[in-house]
Amino acid sequence: MTWRMVRKGYRVREKSMQTVKSNEESGFSLIELTVAIAITLIISGAIYGLLAKGQSSFRREPELSDRQQNIRVAMDLMQRDISQAGQKMGAWFQVFTDGLNGVGPAGSGGQNTDFMEIWLSDGSCPDAPADPNNPTDGANLNTAEAIPRCYNNDSFVLVIYASGCAKYGFGHNIHAGRGKINFPPGQQPPDSQINSPGDLKECNPPDDNSTPERMASVSIIRYEVANDSEGVPGLYRSNTGGMDPGISGYVAAPDPAGHWQLVARGIEDLQVDYRNGTNRNGNGWDTTPGLLTCLNCASPTVADYNTLIREVRVSLSARSTARNLEGQTTSAAGNAVRGQLTSSSSPRAALFYLGQAIEKIVPTPAPLWN
């Protein structure tokens, strides 16, 4: 502040302006910027995580619905086939094929999947009665009337005997006009019971020297778990046991040569347990159906009805086919959202024959199906 004299004796105070220069620059420091970026990243990551989880949950619900629907459709079909097992085949036909435990690919539980093979005659084609005067002629079964047109020219058939026994074979050259079906020995599958002309004349067990009574169509229902061309597992079904009639060889699913059809996509594990009356492992259940006491007996023996399979327990494991979904688990079959369904069914034919056993066995036991 300075003073200067002016005219007439007045003093005027004059204020001088001064500029103060600072050496400090304005803005954020590196530490402040780093902290701000870190906080922004944390908040952005949390928001993205919530959005991604919500999107995954939104995609997960339809996949779970599809998975559950697939496993239920497959189970319903298997229960129907199990309930029809052994129809028209007598008590001593091996209805469930043995030796199919753990023969498939690795399942979700780490163990190999089971296959299941069921023999049945669903009644879709009527039986053809045998000629009572001349039922067999070499490798031919003669019928009393024309064979129904629903029998394919080359197909698997049952020959049912008066004793209640049945034999299976590949029928060729079915002539509806003359009532005759031929079982060529050189074209029979390995497990056929009719491999030579003499095999047609009798059925053993349990009664010897019985004669053919009629012919019926047969389905060999086989279930397998296999991967498709994209590597996605599925449950496949064949009504010929994976065989092409006229070809003795078996081809695994999903080869179309074995008449395989996809039942449900995403089924990655099949486990089957069987129960009869022998209490084989302490609780009545076993992983294999076992052999019937009188199967291929050399001579008639006392029939053991406790060997009949009276209940089958099936467990199916399914996976979602989509990737990166909420709730995925890891197994030998890969990462996926999984679910399992278990159900038990009883063959109606087995219950029928067990009911008959009460009248045949002395002393009369308690009902054998309990």
Q: How many CB atoms lie within 10 A of CB 80?
A: 13
Residue 297 has pLDDT above 60, yes or no: no
Q: Is 213 part of a structural domain of the chain?
A: yes
CA atoms within 13 A on the CB side of 29: 4
Is residue 289 within 8 Å of residue 311, measured between CB atoms? no
Predicted confidence at residue 172, as pLDDT, reads: 82
Sign of the Cα torsion 300, 301, 306, 307 reads negative
Instruction: Please calculate the CA angle 117-77-344 and round it to the nearest 5 degrees.
Output: 75
Identify residue 106 by its one-letter amino acid code: A
- Token pair 């395989």 is at which residue? 260
Q: Is 54 part of a structural domain of the chain?
A: no
Tokens of 356: 């008959």
Q: Is 17 part of a structural domain of the chain?
A: no
Which helix (DSSP H) or strand (DSSP E) does residue 61 occupy? helix 30-83
Residue 330 has pLDDT above 90, yes or no: no
Could you give the CA distance from residue 256 to residue 282 in angstroms, rounded to a whole number?
41
The pLDDT confidence band at residue 269, using thresholds 50, 70 and 90, is very high
**Average pLDDT of every residue of the chain:** 79
Q: Is 346 part of a structural domain of the chain?
A: yes
Residue 266 has pLDDT above 80, yes or no: yes
Could you give the CA distance from residue 81 to residue 100 in angstroms, rounded to a whole number?
17
Q: Is 52 part of a structural domain of the chain?
A: no
Q: Residue 160 class from Cβ within 10 Å (0-12 exposed, 13-18 middle, 19+ buried)?
A: buried
Q: Is 178 part of a structural domain of the chain?
A: yes
Count helices and strands in the chain by DSSP H and E runs: 2, 19
For residue range 232-248, list pLDDT tens digits in order. Answer: 899 999 999 998 876 65
Looking at residues 212-240, what average pLDDT do you find?
92
Looking at residues 56-64, what average pLDDT do you find?
61
Tokens of 200: 């047609």
Q: Which of the given ranges, 25-39, 115-129, 269-283, has the highest pLDDT on average?
A: 115-129
Residue 212 has pLDDT above 80, yes or no: yes
The pLDDT confidence band at residue 222, using thresholds 50, 70 and 90, is very high
Task: Domain count for the chain, please give it.
Answer: 1
The pLDDT confidence band at residue 137, using thresholds 50, 70 and 90, is confident
Q: Is 80 part of a structural domain of the chain?
A: yes
What's the Cα-to-Cα distance from 244 to each of 24, 194, 248, rounded to whole Å? Answer: 92, 17, 8
Residue 296 has pLDDT above 50, yes or no: no
The rounded percent of the chain whose pLDDT value lies above 90 is 23
What's the Cα-to-Cα distance from 115 to each of 39, 132, 226, 280, 338, rounded to whole Å? Answer: 57, 40, 10, 21, 20
Predicted confidence at residue 362, as pLDDT, reads: 46
Is residue 311 within 8 Å of residue 69, measured between CB atoms? no
Residue 129 has pLDDT above 80, yes or no: yes
The pLDDT confidence band at residue 122, using thresholds 50, 70 and 90, is confident
Tell me which residue range forms the domain holding 274. 69-360
160 - beta bridge partners?
Answer: 166, 214
Q: Is 249 part of a structural domain of the chain?
A: yes
Predicted confidence at residue 291, as pLDDT, reads: 75
Least confident range from 30-34, 75-79, 224-228, 285-289: namely 30-34
Predicted confidence at residue 230, as pLDDT, reads: 86
Higher pLDDT, 103 or 4: 103
The pLDDT confidence band at residue 59, using thresholds 50, 70 and 90, is low
Higher pLDDT, 6 or 194: 194
Could you give the CA distance from residue 117 to residue 252 in angstroms, rounded to a whole number?
13
The pLDDT confidence band at residue 63, using thresholds 50, 70 and 90, is low
For residue range 169-195, list pLDDT tens digits in order. Answer: 888 877 656 688 888 888 888 888 888
